[in-house]
Amino acid sequence: MKIHFNKDFWRDGFFYIYLLLLFLWIAPFSDGSLPLDEELLCIFFIIFTIGSMLAIMFNKD
């Protein structure tokens, strides 16, 4: 199994949806600290979104 970089990842529409979601999950932190449960939820979804973006950028054969 080889993992290679997908040069055309920017043509995938899901990449831009995940990019938008990433900014939406980061935005609450700009207002200051959040309650712990909301902060952990946002951090979880930030990690999930970054992982989804990396899955689009790198393909497995």
Q: What is the per-residue burial (b if ≥16 Cβ within 10 Å, else e) of 8-29? A: ebeeeeebeebeebbeebeeee
pLDDT at 46: 94
pLDDT at 31: 84
Could you give the CA distance from residue 60 to residue 22 in angstroms, rounded to a whole number? 23
Could you give the CA distance from residue 32 to residue 45 in angstroms, rounded to a whole number? 18
Q: Taking 70 as the threshold, does the pLDDT of residue 59 lie above it?
A: yes
5-58 pLDDT, tens digit each: 988 888 989 999 999 999 999 998 888 888 999 999 999 999 999 999 999 999
